[in-house]
Structures are given as C-alpha cells and as structure tokens.
Structure 1
Amino acid sequence: MKIVVIGGTGLIGSKTVAILREKGHEVIAASPNNGIDTITGAGLQEALRGAKVVVNLANSPSFEDTAVMQFFETSGRNLHAAEAAADVGHHVALSIVGTDRMPDCGYFRAKVAQEKLVKASGVPYTIVRSTQFMEFLGGIAATSMQGDVVRLAHGLFQPIASDDVAAFVAEAALAAPRNDTVEIAGPERAPFDEYVARYLKAIGDPHEVVCDPAARYFGGVVEEKSLVPLGEARLGHIGFDEWLRRSQAKA
C-alpha cells in the first residue's frame, strides 16, 4: 500500500516512516526538502497519486500566533484538495491533547483549526491527539526559565515517548478510518512542575523548579487537567526512566 507521510523527515515522521516500511508498505517521506511542500502545493499531486493513506505530521516553523494559524490553515487546505483529487481513502492527523481547553495558546488554536479542516474535508479520517513528547522536556524547561529558576504551573502532565507516538500513528494509518479522535498519552501522570524537576535532576541541571500558578504554557493558562486526557486514552509503554536511559545511551 502506498502511504504518504507529510513531515516524514521530522522526529515523529522519520520513526513512523521506518515502521511502515518495515511492514512492507511503499512510503513517501514528504517534506519541502524533497520537493513536496504543503504551503506552496509544489509536488503534492504527484506525491499523492495512487496513495491510499496520507499521514499529516507537518509542523509550523514558527509558533507566532498569526504565522502558526496561517501555516495549518494553508497547508491543510492544499493537502485536502490534493487528497480529494487523488481519491485518498484515509487521512491521519497528529494533534494535541487539550487543544480545545487552552484558547489563550495560539498554537493550540491553530491545531483546533487544523482539526476542523480535517473533519470538513470529506476524506475519511483519524485524528490522533497526543500529550507532549518526552523529548520536549528540555525545551519546555528552557522556555520557562527566569534567571536560575524554572517557573511552571502545577497542572497534571503525562508526556509520551516519541517512539510510542510513532507506533500509535503507524497503527492508525494501517487501520480503517475512525472518523473520530483517539487520544494517546504516556504511562505516568504527575504535576507539570514535578515532572520537569525530575527531568532536570536526572540530567544534572541545577536549575530550581518553582511552582507558579500564574505560569503559562506557550501563552496558555494551565489548569489541573489542561494537558492530560479527560477520558479513555491509549497509553504508551515507555516510562520516563526507560526513555531517559535510551536517550542517554544515544547521546
């Protein structure tokens, strides 16, 4: 089966492509670097010709509110038009748990817009909403630093390893369209500030993590359950300690 993975060279994309190829499928790892661009539309029709499934893992190069909204709306419209022309039978989109619970976050608003385009496209679909990736813990800490202190809200956090995300996305791509949303998360849940403090301690970073109820996450207010599944979710198999061991082994 021919499968096109948009954003197929990124963190999740490269892992998803590898899984699908190992299962014997013809997979195109689409990205602007190989001439397939969802913003300009370049190369899309040719790449999608004969494809049965499209997996959209593309991400905006800018997280600025206007830019990220333009990215997801423009790329979504171009991609869905190309899918309709190619008679693609299944669109799989990776989104974020809690997108509709943090309206102050411009990135989350853009992901909501992306989901709406998926649902309105007419192409059978599956939306996979994921919690934050463990690989982003360092970046989250860095963006929350004020001097020698990292300020984070105390809301619950349930990060998932990218290997687990890729496995779930590949599974969705090979299954029938759900025309619905499935949520995935890591196996461990703890307060946001405590999780990041645990991560910094593990890597030997001396920054102090302070619980600050006013701290925002990319502009969004973090309530107790803003970033975790509220209902049923598929849980990854890789816990924090195992993920850390794997990460340090690769370093």
Structure 2
Amino acid sequence: MKVVVIGGTGLIGSKVVAKLQEHGHEAVPASPNSGVNTLTGEGLDEALQGAQVVVDVSNSPSFADDDVMEFFRTSTSNVLKAEKAAGVGHHVALSVVGTDRLQGSGYFRAKQVQEDLIKDGGIPYSIVHATQFFEFAKGLADQATDGDTVTLLPVKIQPVFSDDVATAVGRTAVGEPLNAITEVAGPDVFELPELIRKELAAKQDTRKVVADPNGTYWGAKIQDDTLLPGPDAHIGEVHFDEWLAQQK
C-alpha cells in the first residue's frame, strides 16, 4: 500500500513513515524538504500519484492566530483537492483531543476548521485525536512561565508518548476509513501542575510551578476534564515516568 505522509519528516511523521515501512508498506514522506509544499500546492500532484492513503500530520510553522488559521485552511484544501485528482481513497489526519472544547484558542479554532474541511471534503477519512505529547511538556511550561514561576490551570491531563501516537496513526492509515474520530492517550492521568513539576525536576529546572484556577490553556478557558479522552480511547503502552527516566 502506498501511503503519503504529509509532514513526514517531523516528530510524528518520521515515526509513522518508519512504522509503515517496517510493515511492508510504501510510505513516502512529503514536506517542503522533499519538494512538497501544501500551502502553494507545489509537488502535491506528483507526490500523490498512485497513493491509496494520505496521512496529514503537518503543523503550522507559526502559532499566531491568523497564521495558523491560514495554514490549516489552505493546506488542507490543497491536499484534499490533490487527493481527489489522484483518486486517493482514505485521508487520515492527526488532531487533538478536546479540539471542539478548546475554541477559545486560535490554534484550536484552526484545527476545528481543518477537521470540518476533511469531514465535508468528499473523501473517506479518519481523524486521530491525540492528547498532549510527553515531548511537549517543557513547551507547556515555557509558555506559562513568567520570571521563575510557571502558572498552570489545575486540570487533568493524560499525556501520551509520540511513539504510541505514531502507532495509532499508522494502524488507522492501513485500516478502513472510519469517517469518524478515534482517540489515543497515555496510560496515566495527572493534574497539569503535577506533570510539569515532574518534567522540570527531572531536568533539574528550578522554576516554581503554581496552580491558578483562573488561568487558561493556550488562551482557552477549560474545565477539569477538557483535555481527557473519552472511554473508548486507545491507550498507549509507555508511562510518563518511564519515558522521563530514559531522558536523563
């Protein structure tokens, strides 16, 4: 099976490509580095020739509200158009658990537009919702830092290892289109400040973590369970503490 992976040289994309290739599939990474630009459409038609499945795990290079909206709207529209021309039978996209509940954030508004375009695009699809990756815990801390203090909402979070996300995406790609959303999450639930304390302590980072119930998550007001998956989510194998120990 030929599977083209948009964003196939990034954190998740490179792992998806490797896993699909290990199982005997023709997995082709497509990114600006390989001459494929989803914003301009350059190289898309050529890359998708003969593909049965397209996996889109790309992300906006800028998280500014207008930029991220332009990226997901334009990129997704161009990919769907090229898929129709190539006769692709399955579009798989990676998105985020709780996207529809995080609409106070410009980033998640853009992700919702991406999902809506896919649902209305006329191509059989599967959308994989993942919780926050282990690898992005430090980024969460950095964006919430003022001086030496990290201020975070005391909400629940169920982070997942990127490898487990790639497994879920690859499994979905070679299956029948769901025309629905499937979820993947890690095996452990933390309170967000607790998670970040673990991350910083492991790196001997002395920043102080405090909980603020009046705060936001990437600009969005959320509830205690907004970031948690539903009961039918696929659960990854790797625990955060195990992963953290391997980073030392």
Match of 2:65 in 1: 65
CA distance in 2, matches of 1:29, 1:245: 31
1:165 corresponding residue in structure 2 = 165
Residue 151 of structure 2 is matched in structure 1 by 151
Distance of 1:39 and 1:60 partners within structure 2: 10
Alpha-carbon deviations, 1:114-135, whole Å to 9, x = none?
A: 0001111111110000001000
1:112 aligns to what? 112
Distance 2:3 2:26 in 1: 6
Structure 2: tracts of 5 or more residues without a match: none
The separation in 2 between residues aligned to 1:64 and 1:159, in whole angstroms, is 24
Letter in 2 for 1:126: S
Q: How many angstroms apart in 2 are the aligned matches of 1:146 and 1:161? A: 27
**Which letter does structure 1 place at the counterpart of 2:84?**
A
Aligned residue in 2 for 1:46: 46
TM-score, reference length from structure 2: 0.98
Equivalence for 1:14: 14
Deviations 1:70-118, CA, capped at 9 Å, x for gaps:
1000001000000001010111000000011111101111110000011
Match of 1:125 in 2: 125
Alignment length, in residue pairs? 248
Alignment of 1:87-106 (within 5 A): 87-106=87-106
Which residue in 1 is equivalent to 2:28?
28
The match for 1:183 is 183
Residue 247 (structure 1) shift: 2.7
- Matches of 2:224 and 2:186, distance apart in 1: 17
SS in 2 for 1:204: coil
In the other structure, the counterpart of 2:242 is: 242
> AA paired with 1:124?
P
Identity percentage of aligned residues:
52
TM-score, scaled to structure 1: 0.97
Counterpart-to-counterpart distance in 1, 2:34 and 2:3: 16
User: Which amino acid in structure 2 is aligned with residue 228 of structure 1?
Assistant: L
SS of residue matched to 2:247: helix
1:188-229, Cα deviation, whole Å (9 max, x unpaired)? 001111111121112211111100112222111132011111
Q: How far apart, CA to CA, are the structure 2 residues paired with 1:191 and 1:221?
A: 16
The C-alpha deviation readout for 1:123-167, integer Å capped at 9, x for no partner, is 111000000100000111011111111000011111100010001
Q: Could you tell me whether the CA contact under 8 Å between 2:101 and 2:222 is conserved in 1?
A: no
Secondary structure of 2:59's aligned partner: coil
Q: Does residue 236 of structure 2 align to residue 232 of structure 1? A: no
Q: CA deviation at 1:184?
A: 0.8
Q: Separation in 2 of the partners of 1:54 and 1:87?
A: 11
Q: Hey, what's the Cα distance between the residues in 1 that align with 2:67 and 2:108?
A: 13
SS in 1 for 2:181: strand
Partner of 1:138: 138
Q: Which amino acid aligns with 2:227?
A: L
**Root mean square deviation of aligned Cα:** 0.9
Q: Quote the offset at 1:230 in angstroms.
A: 3.5
